[in-house]
Structure 1
Amino acid sequence: MTKESSMQSSPSPAVLDRPEPIRGIRSVAMVATLILTVVAFQLNSSMITPALPDISKQLGAPMDAVSQVSSLFFLAGAVGGIILARWSDFIGRKRALLIVLGLIALGTVLCIISPNLTVLLIGRVLQGASSAAFQISYVILAETLPVAVFPTVLGVLTAINGGVGGVDGWIGGLLADAFGFRALFVVILVVAVLAIVCVALAVPRDGAPSSTGRMDWWGAAALSIGLICLTYFVSTGSGQGWFAPLTLVFLAGTIAAFLAFAAIEKRRTTPLVAVQHLRSRQVWPVLAVTVLTLSSVFTVINFTIVILSQDQAVGYGMNASTSALMYLTPPALIGLAAAPLSGWLAGRFGWIPMLRVGMVLSIAALVVTAVFPFSQWTVFAMFVVLGISYNGVVLTTTNGLGVLQSPSEAPAILPSMNSTGFGFGASLGIAIVAPFVVTGSYTLALWISVGISVLAFVASLFLQPKPAGRPTA
């Protein structure tokens, strides 16, 4: 590979307007703190999944309603991710992280004391809104660490996107079986409080803002309404029919909100998301791959197979802890080892080629899973593959591209939109397949996920690298 082609396939974090890199014990303490920060958020995602049946039982709610514990969490992440990550360009990364962790702590307290599903869902929305923890942490890494270290360390943080080494899902299942779902939130609260203390001590003080001007709150409101309406349009359409009155109301709301968003952004000097960036092949394919991959692969791992494995009638009939140990722990644990290596390989051979390799392997694993969904050991083997291809390669490269492809004048723009893509994609995928999963149509749900993953690969073919050396703001 020539030097020129390597630059085209692997844009450098050096293009960001960054201070002198920190090194030594300060960098180790900061990286450890950022790991703890993203763990505090990720526990709310992967640790809760095995407890969904117990939540349904203890709160007396049907499983289709309990599915909102996950879908609303990720929908809130779609909305809160872009707002909080972009806001960090104006108020500083450290201050934004402290706000994020405060939301996690407040939402977790509500989940612990929740007397019914409604209060629990409010707590989950607050927890989900803190998804910007990942994207803000990625930008901090790119702005503060030496360039050569960035890809590998980013891979470490990305590995947590698939679960905390797989241990969290297993422990979540054990706690749910032994003490009920509230015990999980007690653990999460302890981690969140510890993370707040560490961020206050170890993350560098905020310097000059990355963006001048003011935060575009009107654009944030319009985009939030559009994402919410779009999610409920898909969910209602798949459940009640695509021409049902309520479905059409959500469709109209989606169109109106996004049109309003485009009109607002054209008039702002510091827009939430500049419209010209959304049209760029350096930006929209990254977002499309993120949304479609989360809608497919993540949904299979963290929802469809979890419910199938605990189905006493047609599934594997496992309890929560065994289900987590079989199907949540292996891909997360393997991803924890594969992600740093994937980051190193992407920095060496190109982020975009590595993304496409990971997508092809993930699609192949999903196809085998859809062909043999009731063979629990075949599914287990495919989840091992997904630990490498999805948790290791795809998550690392999409997060890396989210930082490296971001416009230089607004470093958190694409990471924040990518955060929205993660939350929105996970919420959308669960909303699409939930009507089929709750009725026992697991095979159909899996094939739908396969189709969505193919669309994600097609989107990756349109991706163009950001030119290296673009002037900073």
Structure 2
Amino acid sequence: MSDPTLTDAHPISSSKTTLLVGLVLSVVAFQLNATMLNPAVEHMQDELSATTAQIAFTTAMFFLSKAVFQVFMPRLSDMVGRRRILLISLGILTIGTVIAMVAPTVGWLYLGRAIQGACGPVFTIALLTLREATTTEKEYGTKLGVIIAINGGIAGVDVVLGGWMADHWGFRSILAFTLVATILAFVAAFRWIPESAPSRGERMDWPGVALITVVVVGLTWAVGGDPFGHRFPSVWSIGYILVAALCGVAFIAHQRRTANPLISSDQLGNRAIWAMPLTTILTLTGIMAVVNLLVPSFTQNPTAGWGMSATTTSLLFMAPYALVGWLIGPFAGRLAPRYGYKRMLQAGLLSSLAVLVALVLFGMGNAVAFGVLVFLLGITYAGVTNVMLNGLGILLSPAKATGLLPGLNGASFGIGAGLSFTILGQAITSGSAVGSTSTAGYVSALWIAIGIVAAAWAVTLLLPKPQVAKED
């Protein structure tokens, strides 16, 4: 952002406590739908007669939808109001949850999860609202860390509860629970979050939104596969790449001509506009499915893994990961203004890379080592890297369009997560098919993740440094 300090900001709510609670509940509602089903991978496979790759693709659809709506909803909230868009998003989440809960086939689950994903902008809108309501960098960094850590997992309770519910009542019970949480979040947002529209009166560039949406979907389907079973490499994937490239060129040309561009011409060459989303895409592609797909799939695999229950997996591996991230996040956010968001991001990526290498070399044959390394990944990624990715997306955004870069960066989280589940899911299925005793698929997925995270670190070298006030 152009303004490096928050000392001149005017809080938009008379009660910071109720505002924060309302924002947290909104983020929790989305996050429960994103994470509680993760320990139920095997249950969804059994109840819907699906493969690991098919279940992974339902999550990929969830994050692809999140990416598409992230492109424009935060910017739209600049114009029509944060609260209004937040309430619309929570309403969409409610509809998607009902469809997913009653889904008779994996195809219906695809639809429900895709509709749920459209609620993804609630997280970015929460961060933007928090930024506008906070008066100091230290306070902002701390609260930023709290919300982002929650977005990475509800202190591990979500995955433990999800695993327990899946073991006792199946995956549909999880969706019933998240439906109640979503309704509560809607009520809290309606009562406690005030309206704020810093760009009220401006017009949305809908043709630009359409073009960039085609780019997002085309690239995602080209690399990760489409809903119709076409995988890379294929004629279809080449076609998607060509369509995405053409729409990308058309988007840039349109932005230079239109009176209300989504990205103004003077920002098209801004390194932050493209390097920040690229960093996020690569980071999420490399790490997201490691914890949320590979860990539960491997530990519950009765032949290639350890044959644990969903509850045991959640309690021993996923909950500690989420809990330590939840604890570390606020401290990382508080330290970032002093040591630098970019520097801490690079440190988080390097340490996450080291953990992934150790996991593939030492963790696959030893449950204790596996658990310790997943726990460390909760520190390096969930507690540090994830906080810095989100923080930089807010801080580097142009002052005249505060929702622009957070929207693009938020979309990048969805793209990266979707690619992660699709790419790593296919690697697991190909090398460790159902009934196989081989861990080759899991090992291949980890090496792929390592290469992608290394590329993410390299891209951070191109990021500009945000101008924030250092506070003692």
2:162 maps to 1:172:
yes
Unaligned runs of 5+ in 2: 433-440
CA contact (8 A) 1:211 1:410 kept: no
* Separation in 1, partners of 2:233, 2:329: 43
* Separation in 2, partners of 1:267, 1:326: 55
Query: Structure 1 residue 176: deviation in Å?
Result: 0.7
Per-residue CA distance 1:34-78 (angstroms, 9 max, x = gap): 011000001111111111221121122233222212111011111
CA contact (8 A) 2:163 2:311 kept: yes
Query: Structure 1 residue 279: deviation in Å?
Result: 3.1
Query: Structure 1 residue 232: deviation in Å?
Result: 1.3
1:259-270 alignment, distance < 5 Å: 259-270=249-260
* Separation in 2, partners of 1:376, 1:273: 48
Match of 2:295 among 293, 302, 305: 305
Query: Structure 1 residue 346: deviation in Å?
Result: 0.2
Please tell me the residue identity of whatever aligns with 2:152: G
Which region of structure 1 is more displaced relative to structure 2, 399-408 or 243-252? 243-252
CA contact (8 A) 2:18 2:192 kept: yes
Unaligned runs of 5+ in 1: 1-6
CA contact (8 A) 1:13 1:404 kept: no
Q: Secondary structure at the match of 1:169?
A: helix
Give the corresponding residue for 1:3: none
CA contact (8 A) 1:161 1:391 kept: no
* Separation in 1, partners of 2:251, 2:113: 26
* Separation in 1, partners of 2:230, 2:57: 17
Give the corresponding residue for 2:437: none
2:14 maps to 1:14:
no
**TM-score normalised over the length of structure 1:** 0.92
CA RMSD of aligned residues (A): 2.1
**TM-score normalised over the length of structure 2:** 0.92
Query: Structure 1 residue 22: deviation in Å?
Result: 5.5
Give the corresponding residue for 2:443: 443
Taking structure 1 as reference, are residues 179 and 402 closer, same or farther at Cα in structure 2, changes over 3 Å only? same
CA contact (8 A) 1:22 1:146 kept: no
Give the corresponding residue for 2:423: 432
Match of 1:38 among 13, 27, 48: 27
* Separation in 1, partners of 2:389, 2:67: 16
Give the corresponding residue for 1:50: 39
Q: Secondary structure at the match of 1:273?
A: coil
Give the corresponding residue for 1:201: 191
Query: Structure 1 residue 387: deviation in Å?
Result: 1.2
Please tell me the residue identity of whatever aligns with 1:320: A
Query: Structure 1 residue 241: deviation in Å?
Result: 6.8
Q: Secondary structure at the match of 1:250?
A: helix
Query: Structure 1 residue 264: deviation in Å?
Result: 2.2
Which region of structure 1 is more displaced relative to structure 2, 383-392 or 272-281? 272-281
Which region of structure 1 is more displaced relative to structure 2, 219-228 or 95-104? 219-228
2:309 maps to 1:319:
yes
Give the corresponding residue for 1:76: 65
Please tell me the residue identity of whatever aligns with 2:111: I
Instruction: Count matched residues.
Output: 456
Query: Structure 1 residue 325: deviation in Å?
Result: 1.8
CA contact (8 A) 2:211 2:248 kept: yes
Q: Percent identity?
A: 35
* Separation in 2, partners of 1:262, 1:321: 49
Give the corresponding residue for 2:435: none
Match of 1:411 among 383, 402, 408: 402
2:108 maps to 1:119:
yes
Per-residue CA distance 1:133-156 (angstroms, 9 max, x = gap): 110000001111222411100000
Per-residue CA distance 1:203-259 (angstroms, 9 max, x = gap): 1233x542542111111111111111111111249x977552222222222222222
CA contact (8 A) 1:107 1:126 kept: yes
Per-residue CA distance 1:275-328 (angstroms, 9 max, x = gap): 553532233322122111111111211112221111111112111111122221
Give the corresponding residue for 2:389: 398
1:78-227 alignment, distance < 5 Å: 78-147=67-136, 148-206=138-196, 208-210=197-199, 212-227=201-216
* Separation in 1, partners of 2:225, 2:12: 49
Please tell me the residue identity of whatever aligns with 1:322: T
